[in-house]
């Protein structure tokens, strides 16, 4: 059987166009006009809808008054990865959904684009806008250089602590670097933002340095004044379907990583008929990028009602606009083929939960599983909740001097902006705890 999962299905020029800016940045005039639409609400609902509690009316007013750098600092004071979040946050279901103009007129202020405009201006400054306090001699270990770990490290460094980050992968960034659709963060923005963040000083970054054993954690607890765990989710949920071992059945995050790390996007292999299983942002990102690199047909199968999908309606519409078909109340029960997958057996229900299921076969030469990730057993005896690390308050775990945040903790919503908030708040708590000793 010929392997139809291959690279080079589209000309390089077409792929370059497909992966151009999803939302072009605002220029000075556009930003001023959009900022002028804000009502500058006193008790702004958009602030409470932001996990990092950015003072949105203030930064928009600063843009309106011609001081975008001040606006950028207002944002970064609350969310040090505000540039990345401006590009990937589901603003349509967070701040913009609560915007008074959205409620009254159905057209919110473009908060995400204004945030990008302001934070980009700050990152263009010659000097780093944040200065460290004098070093107090305390050292903190951060495990994981994802959004939570980076936010924690920056806030601690700003307060005069010496921070060492241990990252198991070759590049820092976590899902920002490896797991977000390439068309959302073009021109290596995640990498550039991290270099900028580290410009504050006081942070040592060690890549290719996994912390995997009880002994590793014990050494960190002995050698550092505090430890922050932000290592994300490295495991995968299982799918009860025969044929999982067939070639070209893979996890969606692995496909997204291939796209993000490709030096040449025309080298990314994809099938002709791609089936993506799942209903979250990972499913959408994998499906859209499959189309962008040359798949003929892409279908998302989601086991529940479409309204229950974790991916926002905006992202669902984006996928549909790119030619992705979304089939709700459909569940894959088996993958068929000799060595490579050729078909997916699917049960369909007219209404989720009903027994009137119909089994059908769907042609598929490439299957991407976006069914969620799980916590790999942490290398230390920590209390867990719902399969993640249990924390109290600002990230305090069940062990003294160990804090945690990001996707590895419960509760969590697997958003970059939430991870940033948890890392930031844990840093404040670590600082308060160290100063009280």
Same domain assignment for residues 118 and 177: no
Same domain assignment for residues 218 and 295: no
Same domain assignment for residues 314 and 410: no
Residue 171 lies in domain: 139-234+380-435
Domain boundary among 320, 343, 370: 370
List, edge to edge, every strand of the sheet that includes 402-404.
203-206, 162-166, 139-143, 226-229, 402-404
Cβ proximity of 413 and 405 under 8 Å: no
Distance CA 427, CA 396 (A): 11
Say what the pLDDT of residue 236 is. 87
Distance CA 46, CA 49 (A): 5
- Which is it for strands 249-251 and 330-337: parallel, antiparallel or unpaired? unpaired
Same domain assignment for residues 332 and 384: no
Same domain assignment for residues 306 and 287: yes
For 220-339, list the strands marked E by DSSP: 226-229, 235-236, 249-251, 273-277, 297-301, 324-327, 330-337
Question: What's the CA angle centered on 381, arms 168 and 204, to 5 degrees?
Answer: 30
The model carries a pTM of 0.95
Decide if 113 is inside a domain. Answer: yes
**pLDDT tens-digit profile, the chain (437 residues):** 789 999 999 999 999 999 998 889 999 999 999 999 999 998 999 999 999 999 999 999 999 999 999 999 999 999 999 999 999 999 999 999 999 999 889 999 999 999 999 999 999 998 999 999 999 999 999 999 999 999 999 999 999 999 999 999 999 999 999 999 999 999 899 999 999 999 999 999 999 999 978 889 999 999 999 999 999 998 888 888 999 999 999 999 999 999 999 999 999 999 999 999 999 999 999 999 999 999 999 999 999 999 999 999 999 999 999 999 999 999 999 999 999 999 999 998 876 656 667 789 999 999 999 999 888 877 678 888 988 999 999 999 999 999 999 999 987 778 999 999 999 999 999 999 999 87
Say what the pLDDT of residue 299 is. 98
- Position of tokens 């057996």? 345
Say what the pLDDT of residue 20 is. 92
């Amino acid at each position: 059987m010929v392997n139809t999962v291959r690279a080079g299905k589209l000309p390089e020029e077409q792929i370059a166009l497909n992966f151009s800016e999803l939302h072009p940045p605002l220029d000075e005039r556009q930003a001023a006009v959009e900022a002028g639409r804000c009502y500058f609400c006193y008790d702004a609902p958009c602030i409470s809808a932001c996990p990092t509690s950015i003072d949105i009316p203030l930064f928009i007013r600063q843009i309106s008054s011609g001081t975008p750098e001040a606006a950028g600092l207002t944002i970064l004071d609350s969310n040090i990865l505000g540039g990345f979040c401006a590009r990937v946050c589901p603003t349509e279901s967070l701040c913009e959904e609560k915007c008074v103009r959205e409620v009254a007129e159905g057209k919110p202020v473009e908060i995400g684009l204004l945030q990008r405009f302001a934070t980009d201006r700050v990152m263009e400054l010659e000097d780093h806008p944040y200065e460290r306090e004098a070093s107090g001699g305390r050292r903190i270990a951060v495990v994981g250089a994802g959004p939570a770990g980076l936010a924690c490290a920056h806030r601690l460094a700003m307060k005069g602590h010496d921070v060492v980050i241990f990252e198991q992968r070759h590049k820092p960034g976590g899902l920002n670097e490896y797991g977000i659709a390439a068309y959302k963060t073009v021109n290596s923005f995640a990498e550039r933002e991290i270099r900028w963040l580290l410009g504050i000083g006081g942070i040592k970054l060690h890549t290719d340095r996994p912390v995997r054993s009880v002994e590793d954690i014990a050494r960190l607890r002995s050698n550092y004044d505090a430890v922050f765990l932000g290592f994300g989710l490295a495991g995968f949920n299982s799918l009860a379907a025969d044929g999982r071992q067939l070639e070209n059945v893979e996890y969606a995050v692995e496909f997204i990583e291939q796209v993000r790390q490709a030096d040449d996007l025309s080298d990314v292999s994809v099938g002709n008929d791609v089936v993506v299983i799942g209903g979250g942002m990972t499913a959408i990102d994998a499906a859209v990028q499959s189309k962008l690199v040359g798949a003929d047909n892409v279908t998302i199968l989601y086991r529940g009602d479409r309204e229950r999908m974790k991916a926002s309606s905006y992202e669902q519409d984006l996928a549909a606009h790119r030619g992705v078909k979304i089939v709700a109340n459909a569940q894959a029960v088996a993958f068929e083929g000799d060595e490579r997958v050729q078909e997916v057996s699917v049960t369909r229900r007219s209404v989720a939960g009903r027994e009137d299921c119909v089994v059908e076969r769907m042609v598929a030469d490439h299957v991407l599983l976006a069914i969620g990730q799980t916590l790999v057993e942490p290398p230390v005896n920590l209390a867990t909740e719902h399969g993640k690390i249990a924390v109290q308050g600002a990230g305090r775990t069940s062990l003294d001097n160990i804090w945690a945040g990001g996707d590895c903790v419960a509760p969590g919503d697997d958003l970059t902006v939430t991870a940033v908030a948890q890392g930031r708040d844990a840093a404040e708590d670590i600082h308060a705890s160290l100063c009280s000793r």
